[in-house]
Amino acid sequence: MSFTPTLKEAVQRVDGAVSASIIGIDGMPVEEYAVEKIINLDDLSAESSQLMKNIDNAAQSLGLGDAGEFSIISDLCGIIMRKINNEYYLALIIRPDGNFGKGRFVLKTMVARLEKEF
């Protein structure tokens, strides 16, 4: 199955969004869609693998349960990552002036659709 239509929809629905990617917890990219590459999505996949594990471990250690979402906001862009399941994440990359609230909402609705496929 191709996830490109879902990733494209996520990017199109959020003002300032430029790319979306499904990333395995092992750091391997599953699929991506980009209208603009602010960052290298392969590098994001590789670097975020350990970060996802560390955030989930921290949430567990604090008694918060599973970490379902996290964001990184920098001068260059914002990255919102939402857990699809224990093995996969959905990432949305947004320009600094983009709509991060809508991005979080769209990821939540997209993950609900994607869960059935994983």
CA atoms of 24 and 45, how far apart (whole Å): 8
- pLDDT for 19: 96
- pLDDT for 45: 87
The 10s digit of each residue's pLDDT in 80-112 is 999 999 899 999 999 999 999 999 999 999 999
Domains of the chain plus CATH, in order, are 4-117 (3.30.450.30)
Q: DSSP letter string over 16-82?
A: TEEEEEEEETTS-EEEEEESS-SS-HHHHHHHHHHHHHHHHHHHHHTT-----EEEEE-SS-EEEEE
* pTM over cut 0.85: yes
Q: Which amino acid is at 108?
A: K
CA atoms of 29 and 18, how far apart (whole Å): 17
What band does 77 get if pLDDT is binned at 50, 70 and 90?
very high
CA atoms of 103 and 15, how far apart (whole Å): 8
What band does 21 get if pLDDT is binned at 50, 70 and 90?
very high
The 10s digit of each residue's pLDDT in 28-70 is 899 999 999 899 888 888 888 888 888 888 988 999 988 889 8
